[in-house]
Structure formats: C-alpha cells, structure tokens
Structure 1
Amino acid sequence: MDDVRRGRLRVYLGAAPGVGKTYAMLDEARRRAERGTDVVVALVETHGRAGTAALLDGLEVVPRRTVEHRGTTLTDLDVDAVLARHPEIALVDELAHTNAPGGRHAKRWEDVEDLLAAGIDVVTTVNVQHLESLNDVARAITGVRQQETVPDAVVRRADQIELVDMSPEALRRRLAHGNVYAAETVDAALTQYFRVGNLTALRELALLWTADRVDDALEAYRTAHGISDPWPARERVVVAVTGGPETETLLRRGARIAAQSAGGQLLAVHVLRGDGLRGAPPDALARQRLLVEQLGGTWHTVVADDVAAAVLEVARGVNASRIVLGVTRRSRLAQALSPGVGTEVIRDAGDIDVLVVTHPHAGGRRFRRPPRRGTLTGRRRLLGWGLAVAGPPALALALDAATTWDTLSIALMLFLALTVGVALVAGLVPALVAAALGGALSNVLFAPPVGTWSITEPRNALAIVVLVAVAVGVSAVVDLAARRTAEAARARAEADTLAATAAASLGGEDPAGAALEALREALRLRRVVAQRRAAPAAPWVDVATAHAPAAGAAPGAALDAAPGAGPGAVPHDGPDDGPTEVPVTDALRLVLTGRTPPPHEVRLARAVGLQVEAVLERDALRVEAGTARAERERGAMRTALLAAVSHDLRTPLAAIKASVSALRSLGDAIPADERTALLGDAEHNADRLQHLVDDLLDMSRLDAGVVVPRRAPVALDEVVPAALAGVPEGAVDVDVPEDLPLVTVDAALLERALANVVENAVRYGGAPVRVSAGQVDDVVVVRVVDHGPGVPDDRKAAMFTAFQRLDDAPRGHGLGLGLAVARGFVTADGGTLDAEDTPGGGLTMVLTIPLDGGGA
C-alpha cells in the first residue's frame, strides 16, 4: 500500500458557530454527487437545523458506531466502516471533536488522518476558536475555554481552506429567527457568547489566520517555481536600522507607509557585523526595538559582513515591496572612497522600491571613535613616550659603535622594529614620533655623507622614505588592531553582562533586583538603585535595589544604610565618588554609587535599565491582566445573571401571580380543595423564589469577597441534620459518627454548603443519597455519594462554575449556582470541595474540613 495516493483535505473554516460551515460542506457534496463523484456522509451533525438536515436527502450516509458509556448511548464516526466502503470523498463534520471511548483514536482529526492515508479525500469543518494556537485568545475574547481543539498544523496541511464568514448582525439575526439554536436558549446566547464585539473579534481572528495561510501558500508556490523576485501582494516595508539617531525617523516613516494599505507590515532589520565588534549602542537598539513593537512591526537581527546584501536578502525573503533607508551620515571623503550601503542597495534592489529619507544627522560621522587613552594605563603611556623619544637616539648610538657593519640597512630594519614596538605599547602618535626620529637619525648618522642632512645616493634616500612610510603604515595597522581587540573584549564583556542580567530577570521572586545585582557585580559598584516616577514633575521612588554586603558579613547579606539616611541613601563604610544618575526613560533612571563609571559602562547600565523597565512593565501588565480577567469574569457573571433571571425567576413569579389572581377574582366560587391547591402552589413557588434569591445573594457576597467566616469548634453530627432539613424524608442515608473530633468552621456556612451539595445530589443523582464522614489525618472528610448518571471528567471543573447546568438540564432546576456557592463557602471556611466518580456509577462530592487545633 505504499504507492496509495494520499487523499486531499478540504476544510471549511468557520468564523463562529452558526455561520453555515456544515451547510456549505453538504451543498458541495450534493454538487459533486450530481457530477457522478462517489460521495458519502461519514459523519454530519445537523444540531436539529431543518435546512441542514434537508441537504442530507439523496446522499449516502455511513452508519455510525454506537457506544454505551456510563449509562448513556453515544454515536460516533465509524472509521472502519468508511475504510471498508472506500468512497472517493467522505464528509466528516467537526474536526476538533473528541471521540467516544473505544474508537481508534482519541480525537476525530486523527481518524481523518487515517482516511487520508487510505487515499480518501475528506471534506471537513472546524471553527476558528478550536484551533490550538487561538484557544487562549478566543477564551480571552468570549470568556469560554474550548475543551476540544485541533493542532494548527493539521489544518494548515489542508489542500484547500475556505473561510465561511458572516457579519455579526446577520448571524445574530439567524439566531433570533431560531435557525441556529433552540428558542429557549437564544436569549442567553445573544447576551453571552454571540455579542457583537465577540463575533467581530472572532471574525478578525479568522481573517488574519486565513491570510497567513494564503501567505504560506504564496511563498510555497514561489519557492516551488524558483521565483526570487518579490510579488508585492501586500505592502511590506523593510526599514534598515543602524541604531543611530535617525532610526526613529525612519521607523515612523515606514510605519506610515505600511498603514496606508490594508494588511501592511513593518519589518525592522538590523545587521550585526560578523567580526563581533560593537556597532550601535545596545541601549539605543533596545529603545528602537521597543518603538518597533509599539508601531506594530517586527524586529529582525541578521549577522553579516555585507550590510547591503543582507538587507536585500531579507527584503526578498519576506516578499517586501519597499525598503526605507536614511541619508548617509558618512563624510564626503568616506563617500568618495566607497559607495556606501545606500548606494549598493539602490543599485541591486531590482523591482523593490527604495525610499531614501533625509534627516537632521545626514553628512555627519556615524559614531564617535572611542578615545585611545581610555584603553591604556598612565604607566603604559609614559613608557611608550619614553621609548618613542629616547629609543631612537639610544639605538643610533649603539649602531654607531658597530663601525664594521653595513650600518644603514641594519639601522633601517632596527628603527622599523622599534617603531612597531612603540605602536604596540603606546599607540599611533608615539609610533609616528619614533618613525620620524628614526628616519632623521638614519639620514644624519648612517647615510653618506655622514653628519649632514644631504644624501648623495638616491637609493639611500628611497630607503629612508620607505622606512618612514612603512613605519607609519605598520603603526597605524597595529594601533587599529589594538583598538579592535579592546572593542571586541569590551563588547564581549557587555554581551556577557547583558546575558547575565537577562537571565536573572527571567525568574525568581525579585527579577528586577536580580538584574541590578548582576549589573552591580559586573561594574564593581557598591549600590545600584532603580527609581521611577509617575509624571515628569513627580518625585522619584525606589522600585528595585542591589548593594554589596558589608565587610565581614555573610554572603548575600544586605548592607544597612546609616541611621537617619533617606530613601536610596548609601552606607558610608568606605570612600566613593558619589552617585551617578543614568537616565533610562522619562519615567525610569538608575542611580549608581561607588566609583564613577566610564562612558561605555554608563551605556551598559542604560541597557540593563531597559531590561529592568521591561520587567517592571511585565509585572504591571500581569497585574492589569489579572484585574481585567476578574472584571471580565464578573461581567460574564452579571450577563449570565440577567439571562438567568429572565427565565428562572419569571417562572415562580408567574405561578404565584396566577394563583393569587385566581383566588382574588373568584374567591369563594372556587371549591375548597382547589383553593387549597392554589395556595399550596403559591407557597411552593414562593419557596422556590426564596431559594433562588438566597443563591443569588450568596453568589454576590462571594463575588464581592465579603464572606468572612466566624470559625469555632463545631460537632459535625449537629451540623449535618440541620443541613438535611429541607431534603425529603428517606432520600438520604446518614453515617456521621458521634465520636468524630470537632471541626473549626463557620457552622452556618458549612450547613449551607452541605445543603446545596445534598440537594443537588438528590435532584440529579436520585435517591437514596449517602452522606458519610470520617477522620483522615488532620482533616474530616465528608462524602455525599449518589448513583446517578455521573459527570464526565472533562466536565467536573465546570460543575463549580456559576450559572452552569450540565447536560443541558431544563429550566426550572435553579440558576446553576448551588455547587458554585457550596465551593465558595467551603473554601472561605478553609476546606475544599471536589468531585469524584462513584464506584459502580454515579458522583461523589468530597468535602475536606479542618479540625480544631486542640483535637476532639
């Protein structure tokens, strides 16, 4: 079977439930069947929609496999039957579905893979919120986590993907007309999941995901056909970033260009030199990278020796339509010696448009050259100047004593060696002095006529000129090599420091403090403080600090400030050069205390400060996200409450009103037994209404966080009977030993929680329900056991969510708050409430309750 052609996969991707994916799939199947194609319906879910079910007429349907699971009959895709039938095309609905137990695979998309491997073409459907990569995003939008997902790679491998879309208003009209869900669920659906904002966001997600898939297909086509020239299907703007002061101007210009067309993209490309030497300051690059993110673009770093070739390679690789460059900052002399990156990009760009943007920094030097003196000690500079001034005369005297040698040639070689040595020790300027002195002394002392400045032999004159030229050239090369070595060492040290601070800022309880500590150790400072302010005129406030341990203190011990010192004060146990303020952003600065850092260390500190700023922003965003999530959950609860009130509270009120109206209008004309029944019905519905209101009030108290338990030692055998007061007689078997130790709880809260759990078990699990208790270690465990249909493992967590009814329980059975209130009360009391399967079938609710500290 190795030569079997793999089947083709076609996916109808829905922007939201109800947009018509299954309808479109069946419509395609009917068209293909009319053309003579062998099409079967392997599995299609109509969800009771008449229009969808009508399209099944005339299509061959493969029988489903039947599974008995926990007393429920389930039907699912029969893969073996489809493989045995082996049609040309099989329709398989709901690709992300989880299969019933006993099948080939756990997920339906795995069954589809088997059909494709057997050479059967498959047409399937899936909603965008079921894609694995978008699951969390969809949950953040809708407040609902999809339990069933499909890997993106499965859908991306499809031969064809067709987006099934509908405007939010049109979809809501379909729901309102009852074309999607049953009439009794429409109001809740419209006010919860199918809000206009939710549908608009899901629609945008589907469009963006599909657009990326189209980009992949276009790139695959270009690669397969060897097309290297860009096809500007959409505006992609590549901005060449140098890290210089003009970069922000270029990025903003590129962002404006990209925004002029729908779906435009901004890509910033920074080329690092392959020799490892530092180019742009790291703090400048960090600020520019942040700006790119704020503009909605992406940052790309490339290592290459040829900057122009690297920029063009990236532009062609992303199918860019335009490249943005800045006017060169090189001097006219430098431009005359080499064309520059901009000229090379324009020359080789081909069909890609190149925009050269002017800026205030054009025509200047790229970066200031670091001073040489900063890399040499004072002793080394003094030694170098001594060699440059005294070395040539001393060498000349030594050579003058060797009268038997061909002293001119030897003198020239030795003076050259001395000049190179001076360059190695002290740099270019002393080497130039040594070269000039060596040339002059060679002329006066060793070139005939000796003792004069004149030279009779042209070759001697040429030799001396060559000496000076070679000495100057070698000195320049040696000096440049020394500078590059120092820069490379400094760049490596800065990279190591940044890597250490980045690693420190990724974990731990105080990531900002850990990053500052890594910086303090690297720069050998006594104290580093990060300070923030809320506004330009606001005072600075310490937000993170790192300081050296006191002399003799244990490793990691803190250094205490002097008595009476203000915020950010530094302990005075040794001399220092005073604090150095390093501005990072308008709202953040670092204060370095100890020795005064040189400029390159200040630059490094600023880069670390940007990391600290990112850490602080991340923490702030995490707090904001938590607050937003809590507010979203409260909003969802309020929306669900309104939907629930419109149904559940209306029913008992209507019954009470009907009974009272009949009694008031007819009065004694109603027979006594019917009056009694009406009064009983009104009383029963009033009790139901009271129970619903109590649950709503309890849930609102829990949501507001105002439930404060009043714990005291309580005997459990006194609490359980009170909790069962409202349960029909004989519905519960109780096994609570009297010798159980006391539990430290709020008796009222525990009673309400037990009452809700038991009532829920009696209502859905059937009688008899067993309530038992026993001691396990330092807790008392109460079990409420029923033998009803039970709850699947993947739905147990949802049981404790407010306004949830499992298995589509009918209205009139409460608001779905009982277990949510019960868990809230038990948690407030310091216990836990969980659900387990009952051996033999059913559900067991397990309450763990803390004991009194003194025991029984």
Structure 2
Amino acid sequence: MFQPGGGEWSTQQQAFERVAGPQIHVAFHASHARERTRCSRGRGIRVPPGIAERRQDRVKKLASEGMERGRLRIYVGYAPGVGKTFAMLDEARRRRARGTDVVLAAVDTHGRQEVSAQTRGLEVASRRSDADGTPTEEMDVDAVLARRPEVAVVDELAHTNAAGSRNGHRWQDVEELLAAGIDVVSTVNIHHLESLHDVIEGITGEAPADTVPDALVRDADQLELVDMTPQALQRRLAHGNVFPPERMDAALARTFRVENLARLRELSLVWMADRVDEELRAGPSPARGSEPATARERILVAVQGRPEDEPVVRRAARMAARRGGELIAVHVIPGAGRDDAPQLEPVRELVRQVGGRFEEVVGARVPDAILELARTEGITQVVVGAGRRSRFRGFFGRSVVLDVIRGSGPIDVHVISHEPTSQRPRVTGRVATGLSSDRQLIAAVAGAIVLVGLTTAVAALDRQMALSTIMLLYLTVVIGIAFGGGLRPAIPAAVVSALLINWFFTPPVHTWKVANPEDVVALVVFVVVAASVSILVDREARHRAEAQRRGAEAEALARLTARVAAEGDPLPELVEHARTTFGVDAVSVLRRREDGDHEGGNDSGWVREA
C-alpha cells in the first residue's frame, strides 16, 4: 500500500493489507474554496412533498447563523470491497488518537470481522427509530446534530434512506451536517455518480439504483481514491470477504467479472485524473502568475423534456467536468406549444444533480432561441441530441440540429446520437397554424401517396363500386390528412380528391364533364364537407396549442414565484429570469421618484434600481 508522504505501516495498515490485498491510495486535496451547488433530492426514491423544501430551509437556517461550513472528505472506489470503509475507519482511528472528537454516525460493516474490529473504541451514534420505537439502520441526523462532534463518519454516501426518513438519501443528511459545521468523512463508489449513470449501465448492464450529485463529490475538500487490482478483488470475493455467498446474485456476478472491473477501475482513474487536472487549471502557477491558463468553458445542452435527454445531459456534464467548465441546460418553449411539464421535471432535476443550471426561454424557432441564448451567455460549446426522428425530419423538412450547426458560427456544436426510449405525444408548433410545418409536410406527402394508391385500387375494380361509396373512401382520406396536418394540406387534398373522382369515376370518365346533375351536387357537397372538417380540426389544434402555451407561462410564473419567495432579495432573481426568458443582453429596473426631484436632466421621474 502506498500513501503519499511515506512512513512505516501501522498494525492496522498491515491488517488492512492482509484483508484487502495490494492497494494504491491516491489522495486529492482541494486547495481552493468553491462555491457549493445546492443539491436537490436524488433519483430513485419518492420523497413525500415538503421534505426536500424543509431540508433546504434547515440548511439555510444553519448557514444564516454564521456557522463555518464543515469539511468533506470522501474515499472513492470503483466497486464494493476495494477497502473504502476500512480506509475511512482507519482515518477515524488516527484522528481519535490525535484527540479529535470523532463519532461513527453511520457505518455498515457488511458482516466483515476485520472491518468490525476497526469500529472498536470509537463512539457510535444512536440510530433512528420508527414511530413505534423500533430501531432502524438509518442515521439519526438530529442525534448527530445534538451531539455536535468535530468529525462524523458516514459510510455509503449514495445510500437510500428508508421510508419515513427526513431526507430521501444519505448525501442529503451529510449536507445538513456540513451546514452545521461538522466535518464529514464518507465513502462512495464511482458508479453512483449521476453523470456516469449511462456509462455504468453500458458496462454492467444494470442501471445503478442510487446516485449522488456530481457537484457534491466534486466540491469535496478532499478526495482519496482507494484502488485495487481486479484480480485481487475477485480473490477477496471468492474468499467471502466482500459479500456472503447468499448475497451474490446474477447482477453482482456480472459486475464482478474481470473485464467489467477493469473498465470500472479505468473509469475511476480517469475521473480522478480529471479532478486533479481541474484543480491544476484552477490554481495559479509560477509561469502564468495568478492568471488562469485558458478562459473557462461554458457548455450549453439543449433538452426537450423527454427521457432520451438524460444521456445527452450526462454526456454534456462529463464534458463540462473534464474541462472545468460551466454547464447550462436550456428548454425552448416554441411559441404556441411545449412538452408536458411531467416530462420536463426529471430533466430539470438531473441538471441540478450534475451541478448545472437550467433555463427556459420562449422562441418562435427553437434553433434561433438556442443560438441567441448561447451568444448572450458567452457559450463556447453547444450539445444537442439527435435520434432517428431528427434525421427523418431533416430529410423531409427543417431539422433543429442542422439549423443549429449552420448558425453556430465560432461556437462548437456536438451532436450526441441517441435512440428514443418511448413514444410520447408530440406537441410542437408555430403561432400561425398550431401545427408544425414538418407535420404538415409529412401529412401532405403521406396523403398524396394514399390518394394515388386508393385511386389505383378503386380503378382496378372496373366500376364495381357505387359512386357514393367511392366518395366516402376519399372523404375518409381527407379527414385523416386533416387530423395529421391540419388545414393547409387538407384543403388541397379535398380539391384533388374531387378532381380524381370526376376524372376516373364520374360519367363520362376521363373527361372533366359531368353528365348527371346529381353528381355535380355530390362533388360540391364532398368538397364543402371535407373543407369544413379540416377547418374544425385545425381550429381545435390552435386552441389546444394556445391552452398549452398559457399553461407553460403559468407554470413558469409559479416556479419563479417559488424561487423568489425562497430568496432574501428577490430582485436579482427576477432580473436574471427576465433576461434569460426573453433572450436579452441586459435588463434594467426603474423606480419612479416620489419626491419629484429629477436630477441629471432626467425629467421622467424614474431612477434605475438594478
């Protein structure tokens, strides 16, 4: 085992060597203060309404009392069993020997005798009890806060708390301890990081159930990588030193394959190297003094509020973390329509967890709104997702991805390929029609193909079908076109259908003449009915899109109201929200003078407030 600084091995370290095998400990210490991102509740658990808000209120209250925030040290591993908990407890014993007040707030030994031996002589905090008084394995945050140790040892940062807990995840409990000025030593596996969720699923075939926001781990004051070769870890597993045999299932067996462990180990080493590189870029060097090496990257990722946005956001978050840049996600409300809010909320939550900022803007055209925000915010790179549907739309009409690339100018554009995870109703549109031009074009092309096919099939029957039946068939096609594309493709389809009926099926055939006056009336009625149905369908689409637009505005206003209410000074929040929503470079707030004294030649009676 190698530790920076050298020194002889202690008896505990030698025991650890026997238990864990050859190891490398790589320590990474944060040397500069970072602005900590407020983390919202994690994914994978339903938290009762109000719990997250109450936790944030408690954190704010503790911060407002002038307490210095505690320091966070995290032992990072690439898989269970590499020795994170042992290393964490070893540090707790060293601190205890130096006279530091240390309390074990939450430690799971997993039945390992060597790890259990490390807890002897250390104070263990009481665990939380259920309403009926039954003790649980969950950490009692109130008891730790009341005890107020100098250092709290909290194992498994990504642990999901049991139902009824004050917080959904253990990392939220740690946030409260840090806000109270208590130093925390914890552990986490690399596969629990939110930004690596899709990468881990690709390696192991299983999506991690519990995740930790990247911002919390990245902003830790100290990160230490606990490493072990995959072969040594497999030997530990075979000897029962990681999990008892009854706990091994197919999922764990697949994770602990040598090739999977090697890939997870490589991922952890690369992630830690990125953190070291990020620290070096942020800190001064003798060659350049206090100036940074390069301007900070700002990465903008466009989202639609769909499940397939998640891998795109995670990829953008990894790019931002690797470059030490800022991540901004944008959702464009396209004038007359928008995606449903329940589809957008998980994406907004994911952006918060990976340490990004979420913005919503209104724009008649999605590509223009994305590029306008990119130029306003000084974005250096734009990330957009593209699936099969995007390529299909690019063939038949305009494509958001292609338009962004064409108008990006000096801004780099990254196109991330993804497959749609579910088919959901699309509600997009323009103010003029309520239906998108792509949808109208596709409906027109599909309608033309169906009309040609219908005419060929009916003509092949050699007039074995009555004229009224033929008209009903064509009317059905026109109604289908109206539902698919609205008024614009349906009206021409109705006229073309009447002409086809006249030419092929109304005596005398293959002429524009109509011998029977009743057929003339039938053709006129056909066109009127088809046009009327098309108008009704188009009007309904307009009303639906307008209702969704108003609902989107009301929802945005409600979210802004909640954010303003949570801030002590709401004016900066209002100004910033107005600037990003309307895509302007600057916003000024003016206040009318009440004393009537107009200084500086300003006769309007208004003064600038912000």
Structure label with greater radius of gyration: 1
Asked if Structure 1 and Structure 2 have the same fold, meaning a TM-score greater than 0.5 normalized by the shorter chain, the answer is no
Q: What range describes the TM-score normalised by the shorter chain of this pair?
A: 0.3 to 0.5
TM-score (norm. length: structure 1): 0.29
Higher RCO, 1 or 2 (CA under 8 Å, sep at least 6)?
Answer: 2
